[in-house]
């Protein structure tokens, strides 16, 4: 399999304190990999390092000419922000046709939603608009930082089904942060357990066990693995 991302001995320090220490892993083309760990484990910092937004030691090597899309954990938007969905997506420099195509790919209708102000979207609608924003440049790899944060239970299933569709139908490589172990078993080929350093790495069925989860979260965690779809 072709590697799209190699991370070798990466460390990130804030105020001389290690937030990530000596982390190594690899992501192959077409894979879905989940990053799991407690709050403060360095998961979002890892994404920022991968995107070149924070300094780091070690090596981060992307596939040549790889196009990377990023969907943030959540975006705080005031309800009275005078900006509608189409106007927001135009910040990406896309044509109206590209915007309509991107909205359609995430299951949104530009006729009914395009004129809606960003602050009036539901949590699930806003998350799908953010995914549409990331898709406009036709990325090869999508990074999702807790894609269902602030989304209700029904919306969560819609978002994860959408990610699975983007993976299988478009062939996107996906790296996502999630706390939902069932989602990892259903969708991820690999899992990286992170708590400042690497705690586990591999297929969910092999890498995740009660001892690993207890070392991650400091308490016993019951796991109920589901069959992976692929």
pLDDT digits (tens, 9 = 90+) for 11-28: 999 999 999 999 999 999
Q: What is the rounded CA–CA span in Å between residue 147 and residue 95?
A: 26
Q: With 80 as the cut, is the pLDDT of residue 41 above it? A: yes
Please, are residues 138 and 67 in contact by the beta-carbon 8 Å criterion?
yes
Banded pLDDT at 165 (limits 50, 70, 90) = confident
Does residue 124 or residue 190 have the better pLDDT?
A: 190
Tokens of 48: 């920022």
- How wide is the angle at C-alpha 94 spanned by C-alphas 120 and 178, nearest 5°? 55
pTM, two decimal places:
0.86
Tokens of 104: 């359609």
Topology (CATH level 3) of domain 67-163: Rossmann fold (3.40.50)
pLDDT at 1: 78
Q: Kindly list the domain boundaries of the chain, sorted by start residue.
A: 1-30+40-66, 67-163, 180-230
Of 108, 126, 134, the C-alpha closest to 51 is: 134
Tens of pLDDT, residues 72-120: 877 777 777 889 999 999 999 989 999 999 999 888 888 888 889 998 9
Q: What letters, b where the CB count within 10 A reaches 16 and e where it falls short, cover 107-125?
A: ebebeebbeebbeebebbb
Please, are residues 200 and 208 in contact by the beta-carbon 8 Å criterion?
yes
pLDDT at 150: 66
């Amino acid at each position: 399999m072709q590697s799209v991302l190699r991370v070798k001995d990466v460390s990130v320090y804030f105020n001389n304190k290690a937030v990530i220490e000596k982390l190594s892993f690899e992501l192959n083309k077409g894979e879905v990999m989940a990053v799991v760990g407690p709050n403060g484990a360095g998961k979002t910092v890892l994404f920022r390092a991968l995107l070149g937004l924070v300094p780091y030691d070690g090596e981060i090597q992307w596939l040549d000419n790889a196009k990377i899309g990023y969907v943030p954990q959540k975006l705080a938007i005031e309800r009275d922000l005078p900006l509608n969905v189409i106007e927001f997506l135009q910040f990406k420099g896309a044509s109206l046709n590209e915007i309509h195509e991107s909205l359609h790919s995430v299951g949104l209708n530009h006729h009914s939603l395009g004129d809606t102000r960003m602050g009036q979207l539901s949590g699930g609608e806003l998350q799908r608009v953010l995914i549409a924003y990331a898709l406009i440049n036709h990325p090869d790899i999508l990074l999702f930082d807790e894609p269902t944060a602030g989304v209700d239970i029904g919306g969560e299933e819609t978002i994860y089904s959408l990610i699975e569709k983007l993976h299988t139908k478009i062939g996107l490589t996906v790296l996502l942060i999630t706390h939902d172990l069932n989602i990892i078993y259903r969708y991820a080929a690999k899992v990286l357990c992170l708590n400042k350093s690497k705690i586990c790495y591999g297929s969910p069925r092999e890498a995740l066990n009660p001892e690993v989860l207890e070392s991650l979260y400091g308490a016993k965690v019951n796991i109920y693995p589901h069959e992976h779809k692929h």
